[in-house]
Amino acid sequence: MFIDTHCHFNFPAFATDLDNSISRIRKAKIASLIIPAVSADHFSQILKLTEQYDELYAALGLHPIYQHSHADLEKLSDIVSTFPNKLVAIGEIGLDRYDISVDYQQQLTFFRAQLNLAKRYELPVLIHSRKTHDVIYHELRQANLPCRGVIHGFSGSYQQAMQFIKLGYYIGVGGVISYTRANKTRHTIAKLPLESLVLETDAPDMPLSGRQGQINRPENIVDTFNILCQLRVEDYKQIGKTILTNTLTLFNRINKMKIQNQIY
């Protein structure tokens, strides 16, 4: 039984054929998936989806490479303050220095504001970080969030990963581990504490090796899990059980009882 902690299920690749998409994730034994927002325009759409289907949960946030206004931040704050039934995190938020055309100082301002929001309402965060691991670490240490969160799409070093883990954060394991050329990431994921890992797809992005140019789908989390089992020394049952426990511990607003009933 799997939980995809990061899937853009509101994107057209899935939203234009929702019944089929839901049928496919159920067949793949995906108990739940979390849909992170990238802009304020997505908030209502994501919340509506989560009310339509039991498996879907929401993370609301302002992605660093998109343009946002302070009105968007106020909208986010207003929605979070109402505690929507299936809101489980603030995300996708963070910093990105890969695209130098994006105003970095504005990114930092919005990131800090959203960390404060997560702290105020005791919600975990989904962190986007490209070429910013050291700064992100500093900001998270300063913020001292009560519920911590996930470093999404991690591709840094073992030392950087352990810094985040020592702060109480989880590392998101996705399709990058399917690429044999990603030796650093594969070796890092193989060595990290199993109790600090969660699974994600970032669908429809981040396709697995051999599927470049194809739409990544949440069902591919099964393949990512199988690759993870090849990299780790633990038994696959232990890996599956531990990662599920990690996910439900972090995202404590997911309906655990419903998932346990599905398993047993």
200 in a known ligand binding site? no
What are the DSSP calls for 213-249, one per residue? Answer: TSPP-GGGHHHHHHHHHHHSSS-HHHHHHHHHHHHHH
8 in a known ligand binding site? yes
Bond into 84 cis (ω within 30): no
70 in a known ligand binding site? no
Residue-wise pLDDT tens digits, 2-49: 999 999 999 999 999 999 999 999 999 999 999 999 999 999 999 999
92 in a known ligand binding site? yes
State yes or no: pLDDT of 264 exceeds 60.
Answer: no
DSSP state of 208: P
The CATH number assigned to the domain holding 27 equals 3.20.20.140
205 in a known ligand binding site? no
Residue-wise pLDDT tens digits, 219-260: 999 999 999 999 999 999 999 999 999 999 999 999 887 776
The count of structural domains within the chain is 1
Instruction: Spell out the residues 6+ positions from residue 251 whose beta carbon is closer than 8 angstroms to its own.
Output: 3, 5, 34, 57, 88, 89, 124
152 in a known ligand binding site? yes
Longest dimension (CA), the chain: 50
Residue 23 lies in domain: 2-263
Question: What is the reported pTM?
Answer: 0.96
154 neighbors 185 (Cβ within 8 angstroms): yes
